[in-house]
Each structure stands twice: as structure tokens, then as C-alpha cells.
Structure 1
Amino acid sequence: MSEKNSLLDYIKEPLVFVNATFDSHGELFEEVYQQAVKRDWVTTNFIDKINERETTFPTGIQLEKRGAAIPHTDPECVKQEFIAIVTNQKPVSFMRMDDANQSVAAEIVFVLGLNQPHAQLEMLQSLMGLLQNETVLTQLINSQDVPSLIQIVKQYSF
């Protein structure tokens, strides 16, 4: 299976939020959790674990022109693997993974719900490739609806 297909296989439409209005990463995590738990994709401790992990190991990334974040949590919290994608109307603050004393204004967030260790590394590598492609990143952030965002991911070749 190619990386391109594997990324697409993890994207679940109910967990794609375009032009959202989350005021904090906690609010964003709560909505991803609510959508995932009602589908039985995560355990009830997912929300506590992702918040704890974000506090201990921040996931904000300052890119050349914009900010992003790739939060994730313990594999045992995930029943059905997924990648949630969130674009927000105004950036959401995350602490930086390379300097926990600085924040980054994340315009796009990929919440990884993975339960296979090798899958997590592959997804992080794929997402880092995507994040370094300014053209694709801009297209994703400027998407107006879920189908167009998913179409951009389909077209993106790693």
C-alpha cells in the first residue's frame, strides 16, 4: 500500500472539520473526542490522555509561513484508527514541540488516532511531507468544505 493511500485510509469524514471555530486546543480535542467516542472509535479515557500528552509533549510546529499541530495519544485509547483534520477560522494556540516555552498559531491540526506504533511513524513522516508543501497546505487551509479538503488529500502525491 502506498503512503498516499494509507493517509487517505485513515481520514474519517466525521472527523474532518473545515472552517471550525474552536477557541482552544482543549475545545478542539473535545469535539474530536465526542465524534470519535459516539462511533466507538476511542475509549472514554482518550480525552484525558490526549490533553495530558499535549501538556507533557507539545505538538505545535512552526513552519516557514504558518503554524500546524499533530497531536496524538496512547495507542490503547484508540479502537478504530483515524486521522482527524481541523482547519480553524482563526488559528488555535499550541505549544511548540521544539520549544515548549513558545506557542504556535496552528492554522491546521491533524489529530492522530493510531494504535500501531509503526503506523504512527509512517503517518508522521507523510504529514511532515505534506506540511512542507506550501501549495498543498494552503489549498487544505483554504478548503471551504469537507469533500474538497478530502479531494486535495487524494490529489496530493507524496
Structure 2
Amino acid sequence: MEISNYIKKELIKLNLPCKSRNEMFQMMHQEAYKYGYVEEDFLEGLLSREEVFPTGIKLSNYSVAIPHTEAEYVKNQFISVVVPENPIRFKQMDDETLETEVSLIFMLGLNKPHSQLEVLKELMSLIQKEDVVKEIISAKDEEQVKELLTNITLENV
């Protein structure tokens, strides 16, 4: 499985001007809904799942988040890649009493449990590569992000 198959160019947002996690969720829900990827209640599902299962991951020099929701809210599978204009706070996955400043978000919209597990494994492997994360964060446009992620997944085949 290749995560690049799920990356949708129209859902890659660089320098997204959002001030908080919830504002980013709202903006990305609107985009995903506009393109027919999600149900209307996707946002509600995303917010409630994030409260119970935080997705911020603090790594050595940066933090990443991989928010997702239940399959019932997803019409067509996708992965959204978001680089906020300024890092935004997420509760940490491994300790929800702590927050971390996230610079890269992979929002998952997957509706097959097997896909979700495979994609999460691939993303966890990908975010361990600091140079790749830095390249995504500093990408000039959506095409560069898509190309970078396509090349990374091809290397792992």
C-alpha cells in the first residue's frame, strides 16, 4: 500500500492561516466536504475522537499530528497534508496532559480498518525521517509535496 495513493492535491494546504487545532479542523472539514470526501458530521467526529485519543507526536526536532475519525464519516478515502502558517498546539498522543507545537498534520479520512492500520504504520515510519518532514514543511507548493510523498513511498516498495 502506498500512502501517496490517498494524498489528494486539493487537500494539501501549505501555510494554512489557522490559529488553533479546532480552527484547522474546521477549515479542512470544509475543504473535504466541498470535494465530497466526507459526511457533514465529519468535523464533529474528528473533534470528539481527538479529545479522547490525542494525536500529537513530539519527535526530536519537530512535532507532527495524525488526526483521524471513524470510518462512518468518510465517503471517499483521503489523506490531507497540512502545514499551518505557525505551529498549532495538539495534546500529545503518549501523554494527553502535555501539549506540543505541531508543524505538520496528516489528516486521515479512511473508511476501511485495514487501510487505516497500514497507512498509520507507513506514516509513523515516514515521520521518523526528519529530512522528509523538513522538506514537506518547507515545500513551495502542493505538487512538490505530492511528488515528495510519491517518491518516498516508491523507495519503500
Confirm or deny a common fold (TM above 0.5): yes
State TM-score, norm by structure 1: 0.94
| Equivalence for 1:22 | 18
- Kept in 2: contact 1:72–1:111 (CA 8 A): yes
RMSD: 0.9
Matched, 1:119 2:109: no
Q: Deviations over 1:79-111 (max 9, x none)?
A: 000000001121110000100000011100000
The alignment partner of 1:90 has SS state of: coil
State TM-score, norm by structure 2: 0.95
Select the residue among 125, 137, 143 that pairs with 2:139.
143
Q: Deviations over 1:26-80 (max 9, x none)?
A: 1111111111112221111101010011111100000111101000001000000
| Equivalence for 2:88 | 92
Matched positions, count: 154
| Equivalence for 1:131 | 127
Matched, 1:68 2:68: no
The CA distance in 1 between the partners of 2:29 and 2:15, in whole Å, is 18
Residue 8 (structure 1) shift: 0.9
Runs of 4+ more than 3 Å apart? none
Residue 144 (structure 1) shift: 1.4
- Long gaps (5+) in structure 2: none
